[in-house]
Chains A and B, each alone.
Chain A
């Protein structure tokens, strides 16, 4: 069943069940996304994809809101632009964006300032390097939830990570902060595969960034006992 409605002043059509984000993409309208991922459940939590729908007081997350007949949608109204800019500025004041090129680009696009919030508390964390496969740098974590979800029932059903703290102090964590090998983690790297920033990174990539050479990396931890004769 086709639905017709208005987006940014022009008439667009959608199939029953499509989201506003789907329709925007099909029509070349760029709506930014951060937490959204094609392979994870959409949680509509970053709110950067919000759009203004006439008749609704609160801005609507286009990644989950389904297209409806006769909707009037504005993807770049003043309210929308203000919300996006402020969200980006808050992100910049909270976390390390150096490994999030997409967001840095967004900041330029929305005229967001990196220094908008003086004396703002940041979410900082020491790099957790507790296993040979991947490294966790939660200073770069956007709390997009993708890693928790793919470890849970979006993909892996392993449930090795969840959250600690609440509100601004939320952080991704293992059971009582145990090192990864001591958790149920099977090191499948599904989490690394969906992380939008460098918060989760293959260890080899991390070591190269630290300036180690391939040869140096290849001899790490390869000291094995001599074989018994």
Chain B
């Protein structure tokens, strides 16, 4: 055994569970990860990514030197060197090694001063020329709270814009908006570990075993050891189905009829908790009227779920002593994602299964710090703490905190991620700052996304690898991954936990918050202002500044969260944290019912495109793949596969492992097929991690009107046989035995 130089306790950088990691370091190299068995979050368990997937930190492709495009060093303008008629800029992944014929678009290594000055110069130039509407920033759901807070602060305080967003837009935006409307908050109401107290729980639109593996373990424990009954509502036969009491395999995008029908049954069979409805909710009558049409038979016709199963599930949920709902992307990532989540909220309102331990409305947040990034106001409609930007009182608070003149901050709602790109043209958004995000993999309709990216005038990428988006940037700022900086993450059940540096930053990389503050000072000097505080001596100062205005974080200090973190709201320094929310009332007072209607998915199947494509993730990979495709994780899952049901496969003459082309109206990919009963008839599944077969080339950028979240979970495709030689990497063949 190797004896470590030190063991540093930190928090996992992958998913929203937020497992405690003990990083064992020798010679500034992490060689092993363990976790304490008494960790309140993960109880001694980890998944393959947390346990072994940190090696991307040391990958030779990691960038640790600032880089800029040659044309900028030569003092040229992008319009002098435009790449083509249709694109201002090319996509460049590597340093050029072609000394003989240098191109203005070559990446060139440089020093921090040069790089940051170029950033400050260009951002200021564009801001002065075109104003706030031309400026936009993608914050990062993987970076720390401190990183995100200062970046949104910079854009709001210096560029006076609310064009601040991050990938939550593509994830739980539907859930967040619905919760905001219905209860006035946007997070899990209970904690994931309370699942062992559930008598009945619904898991819907979440392949928990692969996306929140440790929560899935707790769900399995609840079933196997505590007698809980699980109801899975999902178009795919996910791993949890093996232990489920019921599986309702609905057609993608038919959540509203199914869950509204369940509500209908609860009302019709008099299983309503009238106490709760009368004392804790409002607008029931309007809701009741809208519920009439959602009979189980109506829902069966639309969704394919037998009416009797809908009834049985409704009764189980309603008559349970403690019941909870856990949901994921299958609910939110639809052009009616808000309504989808609202249908779930109604079930809890009708039965009173919220506001008590062992119950709840629990959207499982994906990224390790998406909850935190949202809490930090990295969103176009909200300041930190979910204070609306169009509310003058809120504006006032932050003007004081940031030393901005009265009326200086913008009351105008900003653009969301997809809208930011959609506005990337003359007269619209001109400069985009991307911190640790990869829209070129995560946005829908990637061919269109590419086109938008190509129209931007100035792009800054702050990241650790040149991913598909950074490859479009003008300046690349090497940031540090989680293991090389200090800060905090807020996990999916609102636990704020410490992130600690295991060793110093490699190469010239710097923590994100330091880079941002450095730029902010340079911008201020160019703008001739000296307002907000940027010279933080440590990240805790940042958290404390944010907590001085955001009451949820008011009582959080690094000391207080040193061992196990604290679950916010923590309104003051003696407060122990709040695992279960809404015990007395909801933030908006009473929970509000909403009348719902059934809105089908935007793109229906037809003869030309007869399959529903649904997309999602795998256990071994993470999102756009910046980390996991640069890790040993890629070896154990090296290629994308499309999942197709045996019945469909037989009709189309597809055998397991055959290459196929999957095509939508927007794009196509070529992958091998996996014939499996993990999907259902008429539905095929693609993971979206693989750039050489990017699922989002096919997906539809239809947006939910309120949440602006794209419809990743349903579009229409066709499948054609393809040749081995068409495959991007034919010699790489997946060979795993896991489900």
Contact = CB atoms under 8 A, between A and B. Distances in A.
Instruction: Indicate if A touches B (C-beta under 8 A).
Output: yes
Interface stretch (A9-17, A24-32, A152-160): A152-160
B622 to A, nearest CB: 15
Interface in A135-180: 153, 155-158, 178
B59 interface: yes
B737 A132 contact: no
Interface string B601-644: 00000000000000000010000000001101011100000000
Interface stretch (B37-45, B333-341, B540-548): B37-45
Contacts of A190: 44-46
Given A192-B51, A205-B1, A225-B729, A185 B692 contact: no
A160 to B, nearest CB: 8
A1 interface: no
A131 interface: yes
A222 B634 CA distance: 9
A120 interface: no
Contacts of A204: 31-32, 55
B159 to A, nearest CB: 34
Contact of A227 (B33, B34, B35, B692): B692
B52 A182 contact: no
Nearest to A158: B738
Contacts of A188: 45-48, 51, 213
Among B45, B737, B738, find the residue whose CB has the most chain A CB atoms closer than 10 A.
B737
A99 B3 CA distance: 12
Contacts of B213: 186, 188
Contacts of A185: 737-738
Given A193-B44, A214-B58, A181 B35 contact: no
A38 interface: yes
A153 B619 contact: no
Contact of B738 (A134, A184, A202): A184
A56 interface: no
Interface residues of B, number: 50
A209 interface: yes
A57 interface: no
Contacts of A202: 31-33, 51-52
A219 B60 contact: yes
A134 B220 contact: no
A224 to B, nearest CB: 8
A70 B55 CA distance: 56
Contacts of B32: 202, 204-205
B61 A181 contact: no
Interface string A199-229: 0011111001100001001110110110110
B586 interface: no
A172 B530 CA distance: 67
Given A39-B37, A134-B52, A155-B44, A187 B739 contact: no
A222 B52 contact: no
Contacts of B220: 157
B48 A222 contact: no
A158 B738 CA distance: 9
A155 B29 CA distance: 29
Given A193-B35, A214-B29, A227-B93, A222 B44 contact: no
Interface in A95-139: 99, 101, 131-134
Given A188-B47, A218-B60, A225-B729, A208 B31 contact: yes
Nearest to A38: B37
A120 B44 CA distance: 37
Interface string B7-38: 00000000000000000101111011111010
A228 B692 contact: yes
A35 to B, nearest CB: 16
A193 B60 contact: no
Contacts of A182: 735-737
Contacts of B728: 225, 228
A221 B635 contact: yes
Contacts of A132: 52, 632, 635-636
A25 to B, nearest CB: 16
Given A99-B1, A186-B619, A221-B632, A205 B48 contact: no
B636 A218 contact: no
A178 B737 contact: yes
A210 to B, nearest CB: 11
A133 B44 contact: no
B522 interface: no
B739 A184 contact: yes
Given A134-B52, A219-B60, A193 B736 contact: no
Contacts of A131: 636
A178 B26 CA distance: 33
A183 interface: yes
Contacts of B126: none
Contacts of B630: 222
A198 interface: yes
Contacts of A155: 44-45, 217
B224 interface: yes
B2 interface: yes
Nearest to B635: A132
A58 B243 CA distance: 41
B402 to A, nearest CB: 42
B93 A208 contact: no
Given A153-B224, A178-B737, A208 B26 contact: yes
B691 A181 contact: no
A54 to B, nearest CB: 34
A133 B52 contact: yes
Nearest to A155: B45
A123 B266 CA distance: 62
A190 B42 CA distance: 11
A132 B34 CA distance: 17
Interface string B153-175: 00000000000000000000000
Contacts of B58: 214, 217-218
Interface string B498-511: 00000000000000
Contacts of A134: 52
Interface in B156-197: none
B46 A227 contact: no
B383 to A, nearest CB: 39
Sort A-B residue pairs by CB-CB distance and give the 4 closest, nearest first. Answer: A189-B51, A132-B632, A214-B29, A218-B58
Given A182-B737, A203-B632, A221-B632, 5 more contacts: A132-B636, A157-B243, A189-B48, A208-B2, A222-B630
20 contacts: A39-B43, A132-B632, A153-B224, A187-B636, A188-B46, A188-B47, A189-B51, A189-B52, A190-B44, A192-B51, A193-B34, A202-B51, A203-B52, A204-B55, A205-B2, A205-B32, A208-B26, A208-B31, A209-B2, A225-B728
